[in-house]
Structure 1
Amino acid sequence: MVQENPQMIWNPKDVQKLIYLLIDEYNKRAFVDGIPKDSNMWQEIAQKLDIPNYPWLSVAQGIGKVNALKQDYRASQFLKDQIGVGWNEEKNTIDADDAWWDLKIAVNPYIVKFKNKGLVNYPQLHLFFGSSTASRALRQSSFQRAPTPEEYVRRDHDLLG
């Protein structure tokens, strides 16, 4: 029996192609508040990807990858928002000692993958995810002070239960 949505291993070229397809749709104003106007858009993107080793690419796999990219973007943005540390241009990530990283990883475990190398597609992902706004437990208005790391943890706990 064939598995309906097998685990997919994305190579960097396919990820880049997905990002450019998303940006194209974004530029066409195909999204309202981060949600596609047309639910068929995901099917069209899956067809346009045309990944040779994965001809059965499903909409769920495409959406799953987009959600993973958004999570990576948010983790990378969390790092960019830190103060009191340097930036390592070669690694494209924060230049800090292990104690700093341990403290921040305890607050946001998703950043661990960026300790030695930054998010490769950050500029493109910033175009797509940078203007999205949060709602409910994750909302932040322009007149509020930036949340502390503890506030991020509390919000995540409130959101995830």
Structure 2
Amino acid sequence: MKDQWKMWKALKGNETGLGWDHKKGTVVAADEWWNEKIKENSNFARFQEKGIGQELYENYQELFLGTVATREFAYAPSSGVLPNET
């Protein structure tokens, strides 16, 4: 799941001027944009016809954004519990 979210996030990045297809759950962009993105990372091709959808993306954001995992200092913002300070 996390890999899919990272790839989706990388695909969309900070791009502007993209549309959104609610039925497919993916971005609408010119063929040239898609071709460049797929050249950049061939795994992006799977998102051209079917993305992850806005709701799933938002769920992934809540689960994974800002997640830190290093031993006893592991922390995930979605847990709602702050780590102990030492």
% identical aligned pairs: 31
Give me the TM-score of the superposition, normalised by structure 2: 0.60
| Corresponding residue of 1:102 | 35
Question: Which runs of structure 2 are paired with 1:113-128 in the superposition (5 Å)?
Answer: 113-120=46-53, 121-128=56-63
Amino acid at match of 1:101: W
**Uncovered stretches (5+) of structure 1, i.e. residues with no partner:** 1-68, 134-161
List, as ranges, runs of 4+ consecutive aligned residues in structure 1 with deviation greater than 6 Å: none
Which letter does structure 1 place at the counterpart of 2:9?
A: Q
| Cα shift at 1:89 | 2.0
Between 1:110-119 and 1:124-133, the stretch displaced more is 124-133
Separation of aligned partners in 2, 1:100 and 1:116: 14
Name 2:6's counterpart in structure 1: 74
| Paired residues, number | 65
Query: What TM-score results when the alignment is normalised by the length of structure 1?
Result: 0.36
Bigger radius of gyration: 1
Give a deviation string over 1:68-111, Cα, whole Å, max 9, x none.
x2221011112332222212222111101222111011112222
Q: Which runs of 5+ in 2 are unaligned?
A: 69-86
CA RMSD of superposed structures (Å): 1.9
Pairing of 1:46-61 with structure 2 (within 5 A)? none
* Map of 1:4 onto structure 2: none
